[in-house]
Amino acid sequence: MDFTDTAFVLSARRHGEGDLILSCLTRDHGRHLGLVRGGASRKQRPAFEIGNALAVTWRARLAEQLGHFQAELLTAHAARVMDDADRLAALGAAAAVIDATLPEREPHGDVYEDFAAFVAALAAGEVDWGLLYLRWELQVLADLGFGLDLSACAVTGATEGLAFVSPKTGRAVTALGAGRYAERLLPLPRILSDPQAPVLPGDVQQGLRLTGHFLHAHLLEGPGAEKRLMARDRLVERVGATGTP
């Protein structure tokens, strides 16, 4: 059993004295794990920083085995954000979300392409990192079948004045449509329903709390998934602490 593909590093944890267990997002084979012999060495370790693009070959005797990776560094994206703590945190959070929510070995070409675009924009440094991350997370929800419907009020059909989202259906609701149930709904920052709206203080953090509800409710996979989202939790705190709009 073997394949060759391109991939992004999601995580790399030490195994034994000098090896790594690599988790990566491949273009055609989904989220995939494998052992990298000598990956923890001083020479090889820099290639396996989160977000780096690799050319990988995976081999195993049986399909159900962990298998081994051989990897070649294509683009050191991590190095481009290493000196910017905010962008580095956003990159780590995005990788953690993919690592915690994507089923192993299930192809998701749309998730791969969206992650590639996110990493490239983050490394370029030309856009607001907080808003970039929030919109990427919304797209991941959509890619995995849990997209939010922010086009019109689920109660009145109005397309303006959307203020809340149903925690069950993911559909937007106006203040009028919410009525006495407003306290049970999730606040919707205007930047998510109106792309032209200015970004106000607290908008991004409020948006991340909204997307976080659906990530936790629908997409966490396997034991320890909550713990693997700690990088995202720290990003939400960072957005508030840095005063990002």
Out of 60-64, 153-157, 230-234, least confident range: 60-64
The answer to whether 109 and 102 have CB atoms below 8 angstroms apart is no
Cβ-Cβ contacts under 8 Å for 223 (sequence gap 6 or more): none
Domains in the chain and their CATH numbers?
A: 1-75 (2.40.50.140), 80-150+188-245 (1.20.1440)
Q: What is the pLDDT of residue 127?
A: 74
Give dist(CA 171, CA 167) in Å, integer.
8
- Smallest CA-to-CA distance from 181 within 204, 193, 163 is with 163
pLDDT digits (tens, 9 = 90+) for 169-195: 999 999 999 999 999 999 999 999 988
Cα–Cα distance, 78 to 94 (Å, whole number): 13
Segment among 46-60, 67-81, 150-164, 217-231 with least mean pLDDT: 217-231
Q: Is residue 173 a contact partner of residue 165, using CB atoms and an 8 Å limit?
A: yes
The reported pLDDT for the residue numbered 222 is 62
Q: Residues 68-108: pLDDT tens digits?
A: 999 999 999 999 999 999 999 999 999 999 999 999 999 99
241 exposure class (CB count in 10 Å sphere: 0-12, 13-18, 19+): exposed
19-26 vs 53-59, strand pairing mode: unpaired
* Tokens linked to 9: 């590093």
Q: 133-172: per-residue pLDDT in tens?
A: 999 999 999 999 999 999 999 999 999 999 999 999 999 9
Q: What is the pLDDT of residue 220?
A: 81
Instruction: Tell me how far apart the alpha carbons of residues 3 and 151 are, in angstroms, rounded to a whole number.
Output: 41
| pLDDT given at position 110 | 97
Amino acid identity at 11: S
- Indicate the pLDDT class of residue 227, thresholds 50, 70 and 90: confident
